Chain A
């Protein structure tokens, strides 16, 4: 099932980054949905800050992940996979990478345009690339939302593909991304 030349699974670092970021996205995305309709209160100001800190953190984790991905080839896809599925998988992964950079970026720019600087964990101020501009802030809010909805849809496709390959095709694609102790125990 596995070829000899390429590793059969993602490295522990790649898998850790994948799951850490997946968890962070789930939390930050849900928080983003929840917080925007809250009436103004100290809690709301806190949640907005936490959301922004998490966004900056995801961006930095994505930088590390991109660096790792460039220097470490992923394991090959199952041998019998049709060409269109290979291309679709590659395209989907590329799009998700792009979105995971674009979403925090759009949030940061939106925040600047709305006149609220982002200060990571209340300590490290990020520069404001945009000056305060109400209309631009609203446009960027729409962009941030659209990018997020795209990401949510693509994550659904991503998960659906895993389920399809794992359950229906009985290909061990999920095992490639799971902690390695499971594989060691199995082999």
Chain B
């Protein structure tokens, strides 16, 4: 792959030019590179299960860079960086606990990242992104279905995926078994990015 990087760059430039031409000739703009994700309009939440009870949580600070061309969804890219200390796990004492050593250990691992590797159209406005999710010092391949919709001047990406916290070493020591906090954690995202004109 690396050896073909130059080749790809060249191909990419030709394709961009071609798309721009198609876009202009069709009288519409082609949104390829999207504007920055509007964090205040976006939501990154998660649902954990404590004693069988779903508990909502949220990350308040994160940044995302996305590129997306509706005409060529497979070329879409997303890179998300999450400030782990901005977690709100439902209560003050819970926040103190989950930022600590047994859970996120934010002192040592302040950021979690997601880097997409491929996007697959599923039909209609439904798509699926695959990529690498890194939390703490563990990286895992994840897949998340999502929908893409236009919201005025914004493009909205909304979807969810379920991870197993043990895969990332989240919840160690007394929390390692799943009696009180289940292994499965659902992550939900709703990201709004300005639909820039191409």
Contacts and interface: CB of A to CB of B under 8 A. Distances in A.
Given A42-B177, A115-B56, 8 more contacts: A39-B93, A40-B93, A40-B96, A42-B181, A114-B90, A115-B90, A123-B52, A125-B53
B174 A41 contact: yes
Contact of A42 (B53, B90, B91, B174): B174
A115 B91 CA distance: 8
Interface in B12-65: 50-56
Given A42-B174, A45-B50, A116 B55 contact: yes
B172 to A, nearest CB: 12
Chain B facing A: main interface SS: mixed
Candidate in A41, A116, A122, A132 with the most chain B CB atoms within 10 angstroms = A116
17 contacts: A40-B96, A40-B97, A42-B175, A42-B177, A42-B180, A42-B181, A46-B180, A49-B51, A115-B56, A115-B91, A116-B55, A118-B53, A119-B51, A119-B53, A122-B51, A122-B53, A123-B52
Contacts of B94: 40
Minimum-distance CB pairs A-B, first 3: A122-B52, A42-B180, A49-B51
Interface residues of B, number: 19
Interface string A99-135: 0000000000000001111110011010000001000
Interface of B: 50-56, 90-91, 93-94, 96-97, 174-175, 177, 179-181
A114 B51 contact: no
B91 to A, nearest CB: 7
Contact-residue bracket for chain A? 10 to 19
Given A40-B97, A45-B50, A115 B180 contact: no
Contact of B53 (A39, A40, A117, A132): A117
A125 B52 CA distance: 9
A57 to B, nearest CB: 16
B56 A42 contact: no
Candidate in B53, B179, B180 with the most chain A CB atoms within 10 angstroms = B53
Contacts of B50: 45, 116
B88 to A, nearest CB: 10
A42 to B, nearest CB: 4
A76 B54 CA distance: 49
Nearest to B92: A134
A116 B53 contact: yes
